[in-house]
Amino acid sequence: MSTIKHSFFFALIIFLSFNACKNSNTNSMSKFTADEEKHRPLFHFTPSQHWMNDPNGMFFYKGVYHLYFQHNPGASVWGPMHWGHATSKDLKHWEERPIALFPDELGTIFSGSAVVDHKNTSGLGSSENPAIIAIYTNHDSEKADKGEAIDFQTQSIAYSLDEGFTWTKYAENPVVKNPGILDFRDPKVFWYETDQKWIMSLAAGQEIQFFESKNLLSWSYLSSFGEGIGNHEGVWECPDLFLLPVQGDDTTKWVQLVSINPGGPNGGSATQYFVGDFDGKEFKVDPEFQSAMEEEHSYWLDFGKDNYAGVTFSNWSNEAKGVLYLGWMSNWEYANVVPTTKWRSAMTLARELELVENQNGFRLRSKAPSEWEAYTSKVFEKESISAENKTLLVEKGSVDLSAAQVSLNLVDLNNKKYTFQLENTMGEVLSFGIDQEKNQFFIDRSKSGETNFSETFSIKPSIAPRTAKSTALDIQFILDKMSLEVFYDKGETVMTEIFFSQAPFETLRLNTTGNSIKIEDLQILELSKN
Ligand code: FRU
């Protein structure tokens, strides 16, 4: 999709949301409310009402996780963007807070990041009470709508002196002016220890541009990355550059995330990653990584259709663990029409990202955060079982699968296909698994419930190539009312998809043809409801 089209897209959505606002009234709203609450996840963040897209400005400070988000408080479709706000102490319970950033004379508030200015480089706080600085894109929709100029996105800052709860816009905004680039947005800032300076990565057309600053207030251009590398079928958005230790090694590598819409492996929005080095000026992809990338384009953070625009938390560092990431659990192909009306969209589970180097080269792995196990109550564990044909793993009434985590190991993949099926009393089925002949994972949500709100939602099963070579397959999946997050091969391949079943799934079976298969370490955990 060209950049021009992308801006038309925003214009169209503004129109739709304007009309949705005009047409909505409390009666039509309440008609949906009771029923649609059945889709609301228990422990993935959702706004209490109205529209949400990208996670923004995430940081961890004094034991609290802060999540801001693209929010239209006036309707349940995309529209004039604000930064909504939510906090959590445990990544499971989220509390929605008052809106953090409102549109101003420079425009609405698009995506961006936040940092804790510990050294008071900006002079806006103090070292005893560091300012939290949010860096975001101002989108001047009036200018965009006129269609006469393309420089309607600029970067601005706001600061908070009370740990992220209330904000003041910086008087000299914007801090990065638009040099004449149509899509110029989503600043992600981090502290670059080696040179004692801040680095910003910014999506600029089909590239990422890097800027540096000593004080977060004045920025200079450093370099660009991305021409001819990776996927360019859509607009580049929401970049994030971070350093990761290579697991089991004493080296580190830089990883660049870039979200792209459309162009995802299964259609619509998705996030690609690049592994390389950053010297304080330029990011260069490892040559082996790049050639592998050109051969098999399997460098997607998540192959499911519903994990977009995710970035990492700042001020959360744990050398051994890696970084903490969270994405928006939807896809621009249908985000505005999914069958909830009072509220729209959920975030993914927060995930730890780690880097490994194995026979496939560098791979970014995603894992449920370590705190996670604390929220599960053990329901069922079995060291070893043998399964064939249709084996019931969870029978009706034994485990509440609407919020559950299942993990298991398929010991020797010697059949053609292994399909896990979640089923309910309405005859709805959500299937996923591995097609051994094709060396491919899949999710098929075509019979999972409501699907006809969009032509692309379940037009074909989503697939992901398997990169791990082992004959054993480690699987973990997490269900939360409307979402399935599957982590294969310890998170080397991830698939996240949403669904809208009319009733909760109650049984889980594994279907396979041919030989029996040994399942080891089967563990089914119900997620505690409070
Ligand atoms: C990504 C995105 C960003 C933009 C925001 C607008 O989903 O398009 O590039 O800042 O959403 O809401």
pLDDT of 277 above 60: yes
**Element of type H or E holding 324:** strand 323-328
**Ligand 1 nearest atom to the CA of residue 137, by list position:** 10
Mean per-residue pLDDT, 22-43? 58
pLDDT of 23 above 50: no
CA dihedral over 365, 370, 371, 374, signed as positive or negative = positive
* Mean of pLDDT over the chain: 91
- Per-residue pLDDT band for 318 (boundaries 50, 70, 90) equals low
| pLDDT tens digit sequence for 181-233 | 999 999 999 999 999 999 999 999 999 999 999 999 999 999 999 999 999 99
Provide the annotated active-site residues. 54
110 lines ligand 1 (CB under 6 A): yes
Q: Worst-scoring range by mean pLDDT, 11-20, 88-97, 370-379, 380-389?
A: 11-20
pLDDT of 5 above 80: no
Q: What is the pLDDT of residue 415?
A: 82
Percent helix, strand, coil in the chain (nearest 5)? Answer: 10, 45, 40
Mutate to test the pocket of ligand 1, among 237, 308, 332, 347 (most ligand atoms within 8 A of CB): 237
Q: Worst-scoring range by mean pLDDT, 20-34, 188-202, 351-365?
A: 20-34
The residue contributing the CA closest to ligand 1 atom 9 is: 237
Question: CA 367 to CA 351: how far, in whole Å?
Answer: 5
**Ligand 1 nearest atom to the CA of residue 112, by list position:** 10
The CA–CA distances, whole Å, from 508 to 11, 53, 399, 461, 511 equal: 43, 31, 10, 19, 10
Mean per-residue pLDDT, 438-458? 97
Angle (nearest 5°) at CA 172 between 166 and 176 = 100
Q: What is the pLDDT of residue 27?
A: 31
Q: Worst-scoring range by mean pLDDT, 15-24, 132-141, 289-298, 410-419?
A: 15-24
Q: What is the pLDDT of residue 358?
A: 82
Question: CA 387 to CA 394: how far, in whole Å?
Answer: 13
CA of 359 to the centre of ligand 1 (A): 36
Mutate to test the pocket of ligand 1, among 3, 69, 70, 260 (most ligand atoms within 8 A of CB): 70
CA of 108 to the centre of ligand 1 (A): 11
| HSE of 509, CA atoms in CB hemisphere, 13 A | 12
Q: Which DSSP category does 45 fall into?
A: -
pLDDT of 94 above 80: yes
The residue contributing the CA closest to ligand 1 atom 6 is: 110
111 lines ligand 1 (CB under 6 A): yes
Mean per-residue pLDDT, 15-35? 38
- Alpha helix ranges (H) inside 190-312: 287-295
The better pLDDT of the pair 372, 422 is held by: 422
CA of 216 to the centre of ligand 1 (A): 22
| Domains of the chain listed by start with CATH number | 7-367 (2.115.10.20), 373-527 (2.60.120.560)
309 lines ligand 1 (CB under 6 A): yes
Extract the tokens encoding 188: 């992600």
Q: What is the pLDDT of residue 321?
A: 64
Question: CA 311 to CA 58: how far, in whole Å?
Answer: 8
Mutate to test the pocket of ligand 1, among 52, 53, 156 (most ligand atoms within 8 A of CB): 53
Q: What is the pLDDT of residue 320?
A: 59
- Whether residue 112 contacts residue 100, with contact meaning beta carbons closer than 8 Å, is answered with no
- Per-residue pLDDT band for 14 (boundaries 50, 70, 90) equals very low
pLDDT of 178 above 90: yes
